[in-house]
Structure formats: structure tokens, C-alpha cells
Structure 1
Amino acid sequence: MRADIGLKEVAERAGVSMRTVSNVVRDTGRFSEATRERVLRAVEELGYRPNTAARRLRTGRSGVLLLAVPELSMPYFAELAGHVLREAAAQGCTLLVEATGGHPEAELEIALGRTDPLVDGVILSPLALDDRAAAQVGVPLVLLGERVHELPCPHITIDNTGAAREATAHLLARGRRRVAVIGRQTVPHAATSATRLAGYRQALEAAGLRYEEALAPAVAAYGRADGAAAMRALLELAEPPDAVFCFADAMAEGALAVVRERGLGIPGDVAVVGFDDVEASRYTAPPLTTVAPDKGALARLAVGALVRRIGGAEAKEPSVLLAGHRLVVRESG
């Protein structure tokens, strides 16, 4: 990556004027979606980054954003970070990425603005943030994730309840009648569990089926081992499930492994559906049916909202911004 790449080189590569590049990068002015895509492609191909020192002298801002997620080792957050990185670059910003471990103290420090002083604003995906303690937000802040907070800042999410309802309804439409769920949690602020469990229960009710807690074993985390342990417990039931909906693809991978090791067919004996549509879901055995959040839209909404917030547009920003999702049907269910 060359350090001397500027607007001129990006403009030449994209076949537009320097003013158009500037407008796209700053998300100002008028331009078509095709022009935007062409400029963003040139920005990414050339590795264009704005001159942070010059910008700070000119505007008082550094153009540095921070993305804070629970774990970068989780495929969903790693893929989401890649999308946010590209969107930040498209806005002419530099992105720092930090893992909080889901610790409430670390999340609170970030929400209160106790970060690198160069950071203009933060995109935070919290697991255990205390809204009361974070009431006096100390930095332009945008929140990502399932839990809708009471903080005075934009929140970017998808319709998790609707997505879970669709995934469960899909299994029921395939003739499954003992649909289990892996992902129920009992800890405070478990919004992923609460919203997706609600959608699962709505689909059961619509089909005239009752909710059985035995078909929803509690899990401590959303990793492969957690999915495998829950799947083993489900298969030990007197009436085991004929389908399983997992709240994360990683858990679905663990569940698939256990079903295979028991010598059962997928989806013949047990259908499996996941959530996240991470890259690995295309290569499981068999390929995983899963809910695909629009990660690109999540990133675009989050970065756009943060840039506008840094520019002082808080009052005009809706409290909740929804990205889309779709069910990707593959061979597992």
C-alpha cells in the first residue's frame, strides 16, 4: 500500500472528478449508486487513506473511528469488522478495532469515551453494558446488536425476532414437529437469546405446538463446543428432536458434528438451521441452512450514523435503524 495515494489517483482509477471522490468519501453531494460503487472499489484497490494529521489541523477531527466487538475470534464479528473497515475507508476514515471480551467494565469505558484521544467516535457491539452507568455517553456513539438500549444514540440491528420466526417456520413447513432450539441463555442482558427465542416460540404457537423447555437447553456461550453439548443433551431425550434451530452458525457446526457422530442423517433424521451465514456455513457437511443478516447494510448504517453524529446530526437520527436479513436454504434443513 502506497502512502502517497490521494484523491487524484482515486479519481483517475474511478473515472470521475476529484470533487466526486471527495463527495463519495464524505457522503455529501449528489451521485449515483453506480458512481459510489466505482469510487469505493477504487478506494479499496488503491488503499487510499486520508491524511489524518492534515485533517485534524483543518477540521479539529482525526477521522479515526473505533469498532469494539465482544470477540474477533467469533467468525460473525470478524466478518462484520471487515465490512465496517471497508465502509470506514469509503467515508475517508481510519478504523481501529478492539475486542471487549463482553466484559461490562470494558464496554462502559468505551461508551464513556475513555479511549484513544484520537478517536472521533465509536461503534460498540455490547453484551453486558449497563445503560444507567453509561447514561452520560462521553463520545459520539453508535450501538450494534440485538439489545435495544435506552442510551441517547442510534442503534443498528436486524429484526431478530422476525428472522428466528422465519427460520422456525421453515422447519415446520418441512414437516418437522419436534423443533428444538440451541441458544437459550439465562444470564442478564442476553438479548440475542431473548429476541430469537421469542421468534421461535411465535412460530411454534402459530403452528399449534406448545413450547417445551426440554427442547431449549441452556448454553453458556455461542461456540461450537456449546452447540455440541446441547445437541448431545437433546439426543438423549426420550423423544429427541427431528430439527434444531441454532442461534449462531458456530453452535450449528457443533450440532452437525454430534448428529453425524451418532450416525444420524442430516436432514433426514435431524434438520439443522443456523444464524449468521458466516463463510464456513457454506462448507459444513452438509452445507448449512442459515439466517443471513445483511452485514454490509449493518456496517453501512453504523458508519453512516456515526459520521453524521460526529458532524452534529444527533437530533435527526432515528433511534433504531434496521438492516435486512434473509433465510439461505442449503442442504442441512
Structure 2
Amino acid sequence: MTSRTVTLLDVARTAGVSKSTASDALQGSGRVAEATRDRVRAVAEELGYRPNSAARRLRRSSTGAIGLHLPQTATRLDYYMNLAFGAVARAQEEGFDMVLLAPEGAAGGPVASRVDGLLVIDPEVGDRAVPGLLDAGVPVVTGERYLGPTAAPTGAVICDNAASLTALLDHVTERGARRPAVLAPAGTSAWATALRATAASWGRERGVDVALRTVPFAATPGEAEETTLDLLRTDPAVDAVICAPDGAAPGVLRTAAALGRPVGPGAPPAATTHSRKAPTLLLVASCVDGTATRSAEPPVTAVDLRPAAYGRACAELLCDILAGRTPPDTVRRHAWALETRASTTAGPA
């Protein structure tokens, strides 16, 4: 027996409605009672109905594309590449192509004529393209909140970045750190702003003096190494360094090795004839997990932001809004996970 494609007419007949009512119910348009809309959608799911995306675009004068705007530093960060792949995969499941927008020169008017909606990831107040994108006349979903004064996005997917840094600070102090330091990102994104504010507030609330140093949003391992070297020479009491930028933590490890600071919570080596006391241990962690933290020696404890899943969640919210399945102004939360490794944990994590 050969299977055939389920059509809209099949859905309509099974649900006991007209073809036009079934179409309106599935698209979220027209004057369709909520109970009827729910019944038609349930039938469509049961039958495995998949709308013809090309025909749907023609009926709606749709472009069949979604625009993706990433920070200018995205091309060299593992996090954003994984996020983009996740967003592309989810959009394609809905029949949309993904258009990567140039970091510079993106303007609302021209963009709106080429896409049905926009994903704007980690929007910064200083990014001149963002206000035009938010005012482009098409639905816009941001990955993280936009802190600028312009129009709000149609929807957003956010992480609790304050909670993730709090978890890291709590973790290193539970492992014995008494003078933690945070290499926090510069910039005006919600992520960077939250990390800087949390480092300060966590210290005030617990009576702990957190050494806060600001590094570039997309700091390289070399920049992290230079900052950490200056930090530990200036303040040798620092016994834990939390490095925020994606992929930069190996620079902290190199500094520790250069200064003879063993990394991890194990027992320190005995003092040598050239020193009066054993070197102080150093715990190392990162606010962003990735290949650099997992493959480091020792592997680095990090917050797994699940970027591919995050990209999927952003694209899914936009597709839901475009299809009328979700109302505008929806904010969804994305979960993160703390991955503890040898840089802060003795033995198996």
C-alpha cells in the first residue's frame, strides 16, 4: 500500500469544516471559533498534515525567508556559530530560508521587503543597525532583551545570566575560593550588563570583595592571558578567576602555568627550596562553555548556554508568531546548565 500526502481537504473533511475554515484555523487568521481552531489543529497533527510552504508564501505575499542579525564579533566565536545552525535548522522545518544580515548597514526598509521576520541576537545599544531592524515593520524576536530606547521587539528569548554567574561564584567559593575575580565583558548587551552588575552585587550581598576586570566582549585567549597576568601580579590573593568571553579561558590557564599557580582544588605541591611556601591554588571557570573549555588541560568548569537549542528557541518563537500560534510580546526563557570539571572539582565532576 502506497502512502500519499495529506492535503488540506483531508484535514477539513476529517474535522467537519470547509476547506477555507480549515485554512484559516491553521494560519491563525479569519473569524474562527477557538474550539474549531483547536479541533482543526488537532486533526492536522493527527493526520500528519504539512502545509505546502511555497503555496502558503504565495497566498500571503510572503518572502519565505527570515533574517538573522548577529553581533559583529560573531564570526570568530563558537557560541554564535552553533546558535546560527540551530536557528537555521528550526526555520527550515517551517519552510523558511535563513538570510544572514551584514553587521554593518542593515536598514529596516530594505530588509523588511526581503524577509517575513527577523532574529536579532544579543542586541547592543551601540549597534547602529538594531533600531532600524526593530522598526522594520516585520515581527522581530531578540535573543536576550534589548536595553536601548527604541521600539521593543515582538518577542524575546532570554537566559537568566545573573543566575548563571551567581552559580559560578557560589561554586568556586564552595570549593574554597576566598578572593574570586571575574573577567567581565565590555559592551551594552543584556548579557554583558548582567554579568558586570551581578559580579558587584554578589560580592556586596556576601561581604566578599570580588576583583572585577573588564575585557573585550569577544576577548581572545591572548587578551585574557594579559589581563589575568596583570590581575594576579597586582592581587596575588586572587584564588579563582571566572572568565566570561567565549573561548578565552585557555588564556587564564596559560597565565596560571607561567606564574606557577596550580589549577584546581587538589592539594598544593610542597614548598621548594626556592620558596618559603607552596604556591596558591587557582580555580578557573568560564561563563560560556565550548570546545575551548572542554578540550583545555585541565578541562574548565563552564556554563553551558546550549547555543544550538537557544537558536532553535529563537527561531521557533518567531515562526510561532508569524503563524499566529503565539501572540506578540511573548517572552520565553531558555535554560542553561553548569558543567563542573577538573579546573574547580577534584576527581570526577
Is residue 2:98 matched to residue 1:95?
A: yes
Is residue 2:335 matched to residue 1:324?
A: yes
Would you say the 8 A contact 1:52–1:62 is kept in 2? no
Deviations 1:71-92 (A, max 9, x none): 2221110111111111112222
Largest Rg, 1 or 2 = 2
Would you say the 8 A contact 2:253–2:284 is kept in 1? yes
Give TM-score, length-normalised by structure 1: 0.74
Would you say the 8 A contact 1:146–1:160 is kept in 2? no
Question: How far is the alpha carbon of 1:133 from its aligned partner?
Answer: 6.1
Equivalent residue for 1:239, pick from 226, 236, 240: 236
Q: Identity over aligned residues, as a percent?
A: 24
Question: How far is the alpha carbon of 1:240 from its aligned partner?
Answer: 4.1
Q: How many residues align?
A: 289
Deviations 1:289-327 (A, max 9, x none): 10112334422331122123334577x234432111111
Where 1:138 maps in the other structure, the secondary structure is coil
Would you say the 8 A contact 2:247–2:291 is kept in 1? no
Would you say the 8 A contact 2:284–2:343 is kept in 1? yes
Would you say the 8 A contact 1:80–1:295 is kept in 2? yes
Q: Distance in 2 between matches of 1:113 and 1:157?
A: 27
Equivalent residue for 2:213, pick from 193, 214, 217: 217
Higher relative contact order, structure no. (Cα contacts within 8 Å, ≥ 6 residues apart): 2
Alignment of 1:9-48 (within 5 A): 29-30=41-42
Listed as ranges, the gaps of 5+ residues in structure 1 are 1-6, 12-17, 20-25, 44-49
Equivalent residue for 1:123, pick from 119, 123, 130: 119
Q: Distance in 1 between matches of 2:159 and 2:86?
A: 16
Match of 1:267 in 2: 264
Letter aligned with residue 242 of structure 2: F
Q: Distance in 2 between matches of 1:8 and 1:202?
A: 61
Where 1:264 maps in the other structure, the secondary structure is coil
Alignment of 1:165-314 (within 5 A): 165-185=166-186, 187=187, 189-211=188-210, 215-224=211-220, 225-268=222-265, 269-311=281-323
Would you say the 8 A contact 2:134–2:140 is kept in 1? no
- Name the stretch that deviates more: 320-329 or 299-308: 299-308
- Name the stretch that deviates more: 244-253 or 139-148: 139-148
Where 1:236 maps in the other structure, the secondary structure is helix
Kindly tell me: are residues 328 and 147 of structure 1, through their superposed partners in 2, closer, same or farther at Cα, counting changes over 3 Å?
farther
Would you say the 8 A contact 2:146–2:152 is kept in 1? no
Would you say the 8 A contact 1:272–1:288 is kept in 2? yes
Would you say the 8 A contact 2:139–2:153 is kept in 1? no
Q: Distance in 2 between matches of 1:61 and 1:132?
A: 23
Give TM-score, length-normalised by structure 2: 0.71
Where 1:320 maps in the other structure, the secondary structure is strand
Kindly tell me: are residues 123 and 278 of structure 1, through their superposed partners in 2, closer, same or farther at Cα, counting changes over 3 Å?
same
Question: How far is the alpha carbon of 1:115 from its aligned partner?
Answer: 2.2
Letter aligned with residue 114 of structure 2: L
Q: Distance in 1 between matches of 2:238 and 2:199?
A: 14
Would you say the 8 A contact 1:178–1:241 is kept in 2? yes
Question: How far is the alpha carbon of 1:234 from its aligned partner?
Answer: 0.9
Q: Distance in 1 between matches of 2:196 and 2:54?
A: 48
Listed as ranges, the gaps of 5+ residues in structure 2 are 12-26, 29-39, 266-280, 345-349
Q: Distance in 2 between matches of 1:124 and 1:276?
A: 19
Match of 1:83 in 2: 86
Would you say the 8 A contact 2:303–2:337 is kept in 1? yes
Would you say the 8 A contact 2:87–2:313 is kept in 1? no
Question: How far is the alpha carbon of 1:222 from its aligned partner?
Answer: 2.2
CA RMSD of aligned residues (A): 3.5
Deviations 1:19-45 (A, max 9, x none): 8xxxxxx999349x9x9xxx9xxx9xx
Match of 1:138 in 2: 137
Letter aligned with residue 209 of structure 2: R
Q: Distance in 1 between matches of 2:303 and 2:41?
A: 35
Question: How far is the alpha carbon of 1:158 from its aligned partner?
Answer: 0.1
Where 1:287 maps in the other structure, the secondary structure is coil
Where 2:152 maps in the other structure, the secondary structure is coil
Letter aligned with residue 204 of structure 1: G
Where 1:204 maps in the other structure, the secondary structure is helix
Deviations 1:45-84 (A, max 9, x none): xxxxx98754432432132112111122211101111111
Kindly tell me: are residues 201 and 292 of structure 1, through their superposed partners in 2, closer, same or farther at Cα, counting changes over 3 Å?
same
Would you say the 8 A contact 1:146–1:158 is kept in 2? no
